[in-house]
Amino acid sequence: MKPVCLIIGAGAGIGGHVGKRFARDGYHVVLCRRGNAQGLESLIAEIESDGGSADGRLLNIVEENAVEELVLDVEKNTGPIEVVVHNIGAQIGNRSLTDTPLKTFELGWRLSCFSLFRLAHAVLPIMAERGKGTLLVTSSTAARRGNAGQHSHAAAMGGRRMLCQSLNAEFAAQNIHVAHIVIDGAVDAPDTLGKMLGENAFDKLRQEKGNEDGLMLPSHIADTYFHIAQQHRSVWTHELDLRSFSDEAWWNHAVSVSF
């Protein structure tokens, strides 16, 4: 039986490519996304036509019991979850404090911080019982520094980063690997960044940065996710950044007199 890789947030960007990568190397992947049943079917079909094995679910992660039942269902009907990928952001673009209603702030937290807690709460004890497991968390720049307009996103991401460290502190010795992967730039992902920016702005950005590989290519991001999941337990990575060669780091802006 193939080991199972469960992906929460499997669209056309990082999540989908991570799914393809794990499927290519022998995992059965369970792909979950909120909507777009057709996109989900296409992804599964693509994986299967490459000789891989996958199934999928539509799932609203903020619904009560949604994550909890998913984990139990996969464990019971598909197989033991070896790797779980949490790939849910809550980026809403730049919004001033006044333009960020309380509901928006709360939803951002439910989507990207509380959902990880719920997922961990459901799956880590099962993994600990089995004596092994891997939890890969897609994160972003905002987990390491706030920014104007990022009140909701940065607060959710910053909380999640500390949660990852806490989970690792409790579970590493039980042979469970938690990795916090900081996506430190713009991903070439039409489903997320593309939708947020709008098609025209996204195309313009791709052209400016370089169509071929100016934005971060999710298929190559997937290579690093896979590598991390295969690391020997004596040399686990708990946090790393990924950023394009063409991108300045966020801490290197060109202010003339800041040394």
Residues 15-54 that bind a copy of itself (CB under 8 A): none
Q: List the beta bridge partners of residue 135.
A: 84, 178
The nearest distance, CB 170 to a copy of itself, in angstroms, is 4
Question: Which span sits near a copy of itself by CB under 8 A: 23-31, 39-47, 76-84, 137-145?
Answer: 137-145
Residue 117: count of CB within 10 angstroms of its CB: 15
Question: Which span sits near a copy of itself by CB under 8 A: 21-29, 48-56, 73-81, 136-144?
Answer: 136-144
Rounded CA-CA distance 93/154 in Å is 11
User: Smaller CB distance to a copy of itself: residue 2 or 107?
Assistant: 107
Nearest to 10 by CA among 108, 123, 136: 136
Report the residue from 70, 81, 154, 189 that binds a copy of itself according to the rule CB under 8 A.
154
Segment 111-130, which members bind a copy of itself (CB under 8 A)?
Answer: 113-114, 117-118, 120-121, 124-125
105 interacts with a copy of itself by CB under 8 A: yes
177 in Cβ contact with 233 (< 8 Å): yes
User: What are the CA-CA distances from residue 74 to residues 126, 151, 183, 202, 225 (Å)?
Assistant: 12, 35, 28, 36, 21
Segment 155-214, which members bind a copy of itself (CB under 8 A)?
Answer: 155-173, 175, 177, 184-186, 188, 193, 197, 205, 213-214
139 interacts with a copy of itself by CB under 8 A: no
The nearest distance, CB 190 to a copy of itself, in angstroms, is 14
User: What are the CA-CA distances from residue 230 to residues 70, 83, 91, 94, 136 (Å)?
Assistant: 24, 10, 29, 36, 12
134 interacts with a copy of itself by CB under 8 A: no
